[in-house]
Every structure is written in structure tokens, then in C-alpha cells.
Structure 1
Amino acid sequence: MTDTIDTSSTLADRAAIADTLHRYTAGLDLDDAELLASSLTADAVVDLGPAMRRIGYDFPPLTPRETVVEALIGAVGPLDTSHAISNIRYDIAGDTATVHAYAQANHFKPGTGSDPAVTRHALMMNRYTATMVRDGEQWRIRHLDIANAWFEGDPLMLLGQ
């Protein structure tokens, strides 16, 4: 009976952890600061530096949650974006988890993403490495490192240019 309980608990944790990644990316895609904030601890650190340096920009780690939300919603929120999370791997130890995933994100200028004539975009495949902690029934990101696997398009799109 213990194995069944452990398995159910592990599956529930995995679903809740995946939901955390989906809240993070949906917050960006939907320009929803509250949804994005729900995925982060108060002392969260989001380090986009490895991804941004790969395409020629220096970007410092963002912390705490309010700074992360303000910076990311300000930069990505207005764009027409879509993020897709895949290949989630989990290492859960009690109330802490290390999570690895891929995030593919396409970015278009505001209002142009559904126009088939528009070809200017920024498409990224990033590797997420997150440390998450259990917060009641939810998991939240305490630290997120984002490294770029590949990039296609115009990097200036990410700077709102």
C-alpha cells in the first residue's frame, strides 16, 4: 500500500510542478502579471543571462519576484508570444525539486503574430533548470536558469525594437 501512496504523491507533485512551469509561461504569453507571480517564490531569481548572452546581450539575473514580474511582463507581455514546455524531468526530494525542461518560445511584435505576411520574429529553444519548493498545494520557482539551445530570427524582437 505504501508504494501506491508514494506513487500517487509523486504523480501529484509532478503534475503540480508542470503546472508551475505552465503558469510561468502562460503569464508571459497572456501578459498576466498575477499568473506569472503565482509561479514564483517571493525571493525568486530568474537568470536569463545564459540565453541572452548567446544572442549577444548581457542581462543580469532578476530578483526578487516583483522585479522578475515587472521586467518580464514589461518586455515580453506586450509581444505576441507562445511558449511550449516539453521534456520535463524531475528530481523531487521532499519539499524541494530540481526540474529540467525545454521551452520553445516564438515572439512577434504586438498584434502581428497571426498575420501570415509577417515574417519578422524571434524563435528560441531554451533549456530551463529550476529549483522549486513546495508552497502548500502548489510548487513555486525559487531559482530559474534559462540557457539557449538554438535561436532563429531577429534578436532585436526581444528588446521591443
Structure 2
Amino acid sequence: MAQPDNLREITPREAVADALHRCILGFDNNDRELFESACLKDESMLVVAAGFIIQGWTSISDFMSRLFSLVTTHFITNIRVQFNDESNTAHMSAHAIAYHVRADDAFKQEDASYTAGCLYFIDLIKDDTDGLWKIKKWEIKMQWTTGDRAVLHP
């Protein structure tokens, strides 16, 4: 079921957090359009994860394509939002547990998944064209992992 990009009647803090929710729902529902609605789609966007840096929307989009071939479930909690001095920028942190499994293995009895416990540190900017908050920088700090790393990093 398609999710709306823009929710009505939410507080400013909820609107910032909604960028992460759109991103994660996009992954978990295999809804690339919803995922993209959460991202600043230009060459200044940055993802820092597990010791590597991905700069620019083109590279990030290519990298994230891997997630859309998997079955994923992300649990996000402990979201904290801090507005910067300018009203159009914010910082958010969150905890995440992310489950990843190949589609062919999703219902197998034996465990073939890759699971990660992470901290997210996210810088966001409000997009004047659609009024939505967008992820500009996403730092993913891995705290622990279990399972087959090749599921996510072949």
C-alpha cells in the first residue's frame, strides 16, 4: 500500500522525524518514491556508514538500490530532534535495529539474515519546494551485527 509523502497536521518536530520514517518505510515497503522523498537529491548529500563515505545523490542512490532487492524490517526508536538556529535546518538522532534478508530466504526455516543495531545521526534541511524535511547527512554508527554480512554487503 502506497504511503503519502506529506502528512497533514503534524508538529514541526514530527515533521523532522517524518523524514526518517519516510526513508525507512520506503525501504521496508520497497517504495523507492517514498524513500527518495526523504532525501536531499543533490551532490551535497552524504552517507557515512561502517567506515565508508558515500557522497552525492547519484552514488547514494546506486548504493541504496541494494536494499530494494532485499526484504527489510527496521525498528526506529529514541528519536531526538534539535532545531538549529536557522528554522530550516535540524539535527536528529535515533536508535535502529535493522533486519535484512534476501527475498528467496525470507520464509526459510534456517536463519539467513543480517541484523544490525545502529545509532543514526542525521542532519536535515527543509525543502522550500515541497515543504518536506530532507536528509542531507546520514551517519550510521554500527553498534553490533549478527548473521550473514554478505546479505547487505556482497
Is the TM-score greater than 0.5?
A: yes
C-alpha distance in 2 between matches for 1:135 and 1:158: 30
Q: Percent identity?
A: 26
C-alpha distance in 2 between matches for 1:69 and 1:36: 10
* 2:151 partner amino acid: M
TM-score, structure 2 as length reference: 0.82
Summarize the alignment of residues 35-50 of structure 1 with structure 2, pairs less than 5 Å apart. 35-41=34-40, 42=42, 43-50=44-51
Aligned match for 2:139, one of 133, 137, 145: 145
* Structure with more helix by fraction: 1
C-alpha distance in 2 between matches for 1:23 and 1:118: 31
Q: What residue in structure 1 maps to residue 60 of structure 2?
A: 68
Q: What residue in structure 1 maps to residue 102 of structure 2?
A: 109
Structure 1 residues 141 and 90, CA, compared in 2 at 3 Å: closer, same or farther?
same
* Local SS of the residue matching 1:40: coil
2:125 is equivalent to residue 126 of structure 1? no
Q: What residue in structure 1 maps to residue 75 of structure 2?
A: 84
2:153 is equivalent to residue 159 of structure 1? yes
Question: What are structure 2's unaligned runs of at least 5 residues?
Answer: 1-9
Q: What residue in structure 1 maps to residue 26 of structure 2?
A: 27
Cα deviation, residue 32, structure 1 = 2.8
C-alpha distance in 2 between matches for 1:35 and 1:126: 22
Deviation per residue, 1:97-118 (Å, 9 max, x gap): 11100121101111322x2503
Q: What residue in structure 2 maps to residue 5 of structure 1?
A: none
Question: What are structure 1's unaligned runs of at least 5 residues?
Answer: 1-10, 51-59
* Local SS of the residue matching 1:120: coil
Q: Does the 8 Å CA contact 1:121/1:157 hold for their aligned counterparts?
A: yes
Cα deviation, residue 85, structure 1 = 1.2
Q: How many residues end up aligned between the 2 structures?
A: 139
C-alpha distance in 2 between matches for 1:62 and 1:132: 17
Larger Rg: 1
Q: What residue in structure 1 maps to residue 3 of structure 2?
A: none
C-alpha distance in 1 between matches for 2:96 and 2:23: 11
